[in-house]
Amino acid sequence: MFGLMVGGLLAGCSRAGEKPGGSASGGVSASPSGSGAVSASLESSSSLVAGGRLAVAGDYQWFRGVRDLDKGFCFVWVSKAWPALVIERMGAKELERILWQQMVGAGDGERVSGGPLYFGVTRLDADWSLVVEDNGRLGEADELLKALSVGSTVVCLYRALDGRQRFLVLEDEITQLEFDPRAKVAPTGVRAGELAPVIKAVGGSGVEAGFALAERLTGVPVELSVLEESTYRFSRGPTGQ
């Protein structure tokens, strides 16, 4: 029986994102106490239930309608680190609190070669924070992603302007899984073999499959309504080179 890095997944995980006017993850710069979302042990596939379902690519067909991210994006799930700690680990500076449409509406991202990275950070639930970047390079900034993974699990789903995609799982700087969801190339990473049945189970390919796999690994579904209703700590980071 194969398993995953993520332990203690709960059916019906709450999604307590930072709401407008709220302070659920306001000034907290430490990991949430009692967080047990990630462990070194591997869970069996039968335990990977988020919101009462085993996610498949078809659950994320709604993402095709998010035209604001047509030019590329990066979603990064970070365990055991609230937004303030995520920003600190990335060596970034919070600029302001904004909503989803303010962050992605322009559709241009940073796209300045060698310039700083811009992204938003919100809290998904008691265990997971989410970093969202519009049309940038965060998904290729390995040093930043490794820094985020110290003491945490990082799940990254990235699509570049030219259509390249990357799904990456890091734990304590070690690559657990890496592959292009749209390409017919065997995944790599220390747990690629163990996770192969899960990749097959989500079905499909591309971004929708990537989101479904991320849900199975984190236990947290991502829905458009959650993204739109959350408040993001819009931040400026280093160049990511």
Question: Could you write out the DSSP letters of every residue in 127-174?
Answer: SEEEEEEESSSGGG-HHHHHHHTTTSEEEEEEE-TTS-EEEEEEETTE
* Cα 151–chain centre separation: 16
What pTM was estimated for this model as a whole?
0.80
Q: From CA 53, how far away is CA 55, in angstroms rounded?
A: 6
Q: From CA 80, how far away is CA 153, in angstroms rounded?
A: 8
- Residue 198 is predicted with a pLDDT of 94
Question: Average pLDDT, whole number, for the chain?
Answer: 80
- Residue 115 is predicted with a pLDDT of 79
- Residue 113 is predicted with a pLDDT of 57
Q: What is the DSSP secondary structure assignment for residue 31, as one 8-state letter?
A: P
Q: From CA 79, how far away is CA 86, in angstroms rounded?
A: 10
- Residue 223 is predicted with a pLDDT of 94
**Considering the chain, what percentage of its residues have pLDDT values greater than 70?**
73
